[in-house]
Amino acid sequence: MLGDSGKAQAVFQTTLHEAARRAAHEGLPNERFWLFRDARWRCLEASETDLQAEPLEMEEHEVIAEAASQIERLEPIQLAIWISAAPEPQRTALAFFYLDEFDYSEIADLAELKLSELSRLLAAGRRQFQAWLDATFPERSTV
C-alpha cells in the first residue's frame, strides 16, 4: 500500500507493537477486522507526507479471459507497484481484492466503502490494470 518496503515494515512493527500493548492493558476489540483497519489507517497517515500523484484519466480495456495468465507472468513486485500507484481508496480496494482473502462485503468494511462504491472502484481498477497488462504484454493485445 505504501510502495516503500521500509515504511511498510515500520507501519507493520508499529501496528503489532500497539496490538500487543492493547492486548496487555485493555484487551483486544471484538471487531473482526480491527487490526487490518488499524494498519490501513497507519499506512494512510504514513503516505500523507509523500508526493501524491495528480489525478489523471487512465486508459481502460475490458477484462479478458487471458488476464489471469497475464498476471501470472508478472513478478509480484510489479503488481504491488501498480496497486500502490492507485489513488486512495481504490488502492486499498485493489490491494484487498488481489490478496484474494476477503469477500466483497469484507473489503467494503475494511476500506470503509459502500458496496456500490467498491464495485465501481474495482471495476475501473481492473479495466485500467487490463490496459496496463495489454501494454506490458502486447503480443496478446487485441481490444
d(CA 115, CA 76): 27
Residue 99 lies in a domain: yes
In which residue are the cell numbers 493485445 written? 141
Start-to-end CA span in the chain (Å) = 30
pLDDT band at 6 (very low <50, low <70, confident <90, very high): confident
Supply the pLDDT for residue 141: 47
Supply the pLDDT for residue 18: 81
- Here the CATH number for the domain that contains residue 88 is 1.10.10
Residue 54 lies in a domain: no
Tell me the pLDDT tens digit for each residue of 24-60. Answer: 888 888 887 888 878 877 877 777 666 555 556 778 9
Q: Are residues 43 and 71 in the same domain?
A: no
**Cβ(104)–Cβ(117) below 8 Å:** no
* More confident call, 140 vs 33: 33
Q: Is 20 a residue whose pLDDT tops 90?
A: no
Q: Which of 2-11, 29-38, 95-104, 132-141 has the lowest mean pLDDT?
A: 2-11
Q: Are residues 12 and 72 in the same domain?
A: no
Q: Is 1 a residue whose pLDDT tops 70?
A: no
Question: In the chain, how long is the greatest CA-to-CA distance?
Answer: 59
d(CA 6, CA 41): 17
In which residue are the cell numbers 465501481 written? 120
Residue 31 lies in a domain: yes
For 131, the grid coordinates are: 490496459
Would you mind telling me the total number of residues written for the chain in this entry? 143
d(CA 91, CA 65): 23
d(CA 90, CA 82): 12
Q: Is 61 a residue whose pLDDT tops 50?
A: yes
Tell me the pLDDT tens digit for each residue of 66-111. Answer: 988 998 999 988 888 888 888 888 988 999 998 889 999 999 998 8
Q: Which domain holds residue 104?
A: 67-136
Residue 61 lies in a domain: no
Residue 55 lies in a domain: no
DSSP state of 142: -
- Residues 6 or more apart from 105 whose CB is under 8 A from it? 115
* More confident call, 1 vs 72: 72
Residue 59 lies in a domain: no
Q: How many domains does the chain fold into?
A: 2
Record the pTM. 0.62
